[in-house]
Chain A
Amino acid sequence: EVQLVQSGAEVKKPGESLKISCRASGYSFTTYRLSWVRQTPGKGLEWLGRIDPSDSQIHYSPSFQGHVTFSIDVSTSTAYLRWNSLKASDTAMYHCVRHGVVGGIFYFDVWGRGTLVSVSS
């Protein structure tokens, strides 16, 4: 079964660092790109960016560039999302998602359950 298993919920204070994970199973990790998507009640679904596990090429959304960092560990089929300095506005559910593609059109065909990140002083 194709799965994206994410790490557990986190409670942090503003200014702290955090790294959450997404472990893929059931498919060839380097064959499919991954994105990170966050969800909040106020702003809905937002795309943070994507990473290609085959060559580690990354594309960040301008709205998140410089605030988050993507990385991968191919040996464990795991993707990571990291913050060096959290803000209260980072409070959200974060999903990793796998890309499907047809004719150059990308879509999110597998979703992780999400990691809830809460940032509060």
Chain B
Amino acid sequence: DIQMTQSPSSLSASVGDRVSITCRAAESMSNYLNWYQQKPGRAPNLLIYAAYFLHSGVPSRFTGSASGPEFTLTINNLQPEDFATYYCQQSYRIPWTFGQGTKVEI
């Protein structure tokens, strides 16, 4: 299985901050990487697919990037509704796997 390592596991930030979350794959996987946001008591929601592409309806302050086996989710101008847990997920090789999550807190 491809292990996905997210960092940090949690971070504290303030409204208006810029935050970055990193997901490192155990091997190179082109851009077969997706990002999800999950709020307490809710199902995850797709933010970014194929490393770079913003899912419909997702604010443009969310961006995705990639460099080799390392992927980054950046949130610019953090808003109150962005405090949540974020997960990466690879769809390069079955079984598809998720990162362990990054909790963004105030």
Contact = CB atoms under 8 A, between A and B. Distances in A.
B87 interface: yes
Interface in B28-68: 31-32, 34, 36, 42-46, 49-50, 53, 55
Contacts of A100: 46, 49
Contact of B49 (A63, A102, A111): A102
Nearest to B97: A47
A114 B49 contact: no
Instruction: Place the interface of chain B in its size category.
Output: 20 to 34
Interface string A80-99: 00000000000000010000
A1 to B, nearest CB: 13
A62 interface: yes
A108 B91 CA distance: 10
A108 B36 contact: yes
A62 B34 contact: no
A62 B45 CA distance: 25
A88 to B, nearest CB: 22
